[in-house]
Structure 1
Amino acid sequence: MIHPSAIISSQAEIAPDAEIGPFCIVEAGTQIGSGCRLVANVSVRTGTVLGSESTVYEGAILGGLPQIANQPTNPGNLVIGKRNVLREHCTLHRAIHEGNSTTLGDDCLLMVGAHVAHDCQVGNHVILTNGAMLGGHVEIGDRACLGGNSAVHQFCRIGRLVMVGACTKVVQDIPPFVLTDGATALIVGLNRVGLRRAGLSRQEILDLKAAYRLIYRHGLSFQETLQVLQEQFPTGVASEFATFFQGGERGFVQERRSPPRIALRVHPAVDEIDEEESSPVPRRLAG
């Protein structure tokens, strides 16, 4: 169903069962999949592909031009997967260069005012809470969750199953499976709640704990750490954790200094990682 007030290009490809609400604008060169719903006042710009069964709320703009000083003559695309929910005033921009795409996976939730800049690659089941912002070329792994008003610097990577605290300023890569504190933007331990919800086994979590200790608390050089990790964890989630440190170009977020023991109850994940002792100085890993 298409509302009479909607402005629809004759060159847009819209599934017969898609619902286009009042005052929506759908430009030429767009695709809207089966079962999609544009609630009202949604703009779908040229170069946008919206996967099936997705819902887009009021004021959202999909496929806007990249926010760069020199606008490209032939920008790339925006490809959005299936079953996504994009709440009010979300903005997702096309890639800079023709042939490239900004991508959003399946089953994601972008809350009010979330922003995905040009050339971002966002995985499946990702949650961007109110006001979360991704700079250009950011990569977000599956099932990551960014807290409200978080901002991610261009070219940063955030790994799978990461939980980023609210109001975090992310300027370096965050490895998978960890929890970061919004006040300091530093790692405070494994995202144990997220790991359990994702179905990781007890042994997998124990392997991650061992890899975590080795990276942040063992005292080896960066190259020595990578070599030991490859030897001890050739496969599995711990291997995925270790492999993350072989890529990137911005360095890696540090572990937070352990607060006084009396304050550990505020962030129990720190205590759960290593109940015996904690390094007094966080270890910095250069990219």
Structure 2
Amino acid sequence: MNPSVHQSSVVEDGARLGAGVAIGPFCHIGAGVEIGDGATLHSHVVVGGYTRIGARARIFPFAAVGLPSQDIKAALEAGALTIGEECVIREGVTINAGVGEGTRIGARCVFLAASHVAHDCRLGDDVILSNQVLLGGHVEIGDHAMIGGATAVHQNVRIGAHAFVGGLSGVEGDVIPFTLASGNRAHLFGLNRVGLQRRGFAPERIERLRRAYRLLFAQEARALSERIDCLSRDFAGDADIAAIVEFLRAPSTRPLCAPRAR
């Protein structure tokens, strides 16, 4: 099936449109753009830079995707952006391109209205950003994480897989996988139990995560490195705990988001 392009839209020479792509009215598609099979751009969508959009994506009015970074120290040059298949990008969303390997978005992610992804962010699969979420540059978010509405995430922050960040939060520290964080400035409230249950985590699996969480944060008199070593030793062979340990041992320029002191 050939692409369908409304007569009011501009598709620059060099752009590649997959089979069944539908471009609605008043869109502008740059020369370096590739759009996968079955994707739909409803209307008034701008896609620029060296952007690759996966199959069956749906992009709604007034979204701006793949335009240059807003970093005032960087030149306004075209950058790279990769978006996985079946992503939903709602009204007024902005996703900036990055430099080098660029900004990368996984599959089946959802960006609700007026959310913003800055340059060089890395998002896994099935990530959800609620309305007006703001991600600074170089933010990393793991698979199945959810960010509540009107939350701002500081540049270079990492948010682990299956984490949930409540709305109206200011996140300036790394949020470990499987946890619930909220507040200004955000701190941990425990495990993301509801999210884990909804994704089919068995009760015994959640209980192991609860025990690991307590071991990590209930012994704050000990050095963090010692507590991480305890996790690795006491839960050897557990893939979930191994993911937490890997997250904690990875290089980071941000502090660790932790429970609020009693």
Match of 2:243 among 235, 240, 256: 240
Q: Which residue of 1 aligns with 2:200?
A: 199
Whether contact under 8 Å (2:173, 2:255) holds in the other structure is yes
Task: Give yes or no for contact 2:68–2:77 (8 Å, CA) kept in 1.
Answer: no
Q: In structure 1, what is the Cα distance between the partners aligned to 2:225 and 2:184?
A: 30
Report the number of matched residues: 256
- Contact 1:204–1:238 (CA under 8 A) maintained in structure 2: no
Give the unaligned 5+ runs of structure 1.
Answer: 258-279, 281-287
Structure with bigger gyration radius: 1
- Deviation at residue 110 of structure 1 after TM alignment: 0.3
1:256 aligns with 2:257: no
TM-score for the superposition, normalised by structure 1: 0.86
Once the two structures are superposed, the pairs formed by residues 182-193 of structure 1 within 5 Å of their partners are: 182=183, 185-193=186-194
The whole-number CA distance in structure 1 between the counterparts of 2:129 and 2:190 is 21
1:208/1:241 contact within 8 Å kept: no
Q: Quick check: 1:31–1:50 contact (8 Å CA) kept in 2?
A: yes
Amino acid at match of 1:47: Y
Deviation at 1:72, TM superposition (A): 3.8
Aligned-pair Cα RMSD in Å: 1.4
Contact kept in structure 2, 1:105 and 1:122, CA below 8 Å: yes
Please say if 1:64 is aligned against 2:67: yes
Question: What CA distance in whole angstroms lies between the structure 1 residues aligned with 2:79 and 2:68?
Answer: 9
CA distance in 1, matches of 2:157, 2:185: 17
Identity of aligned residues (%): 36
Rounded Cα–Cα distance in structure 2 between residues aligned with 1:37 and 1:54: 6
In structure 2, runs of 5+ residues without a counterpart are none
Determine helix, strand or coil for the equivalent of 1:48: strand
Structure 2 residue identity aligned to 1:243: E
Give SS of 2:183's match.
Answer: coil
Q: Please identify which structure carries the higher strand content.
A: 2
Scaled by the length of structure 2, the TM-score of the pair is: 0.94
Match of 2:148 in 1: 147
- In the TM superposition, what are the counterparts of 1:71-110 in structure 2 within 5 Å? 71-72=74-75, 75-97=78-100, 100-110=101-111
Quote how far apart the aligned CAs of 1:207 are: 1.2
Q: Report the secondary structure of 2:232's partner residue.
A: helix
* Conserved 8 A contact 2:93-2:116: yes
Secondary structure of 1:179's counterpart equals: strand
113 and 185 in structure 1: CA distance in 2 versus 1, 3 angstrom threshold: same
Per the alignment, residue 158 of structure 2 pairs with 157
Q: Which amino acid aligns with 1:189?
A: G
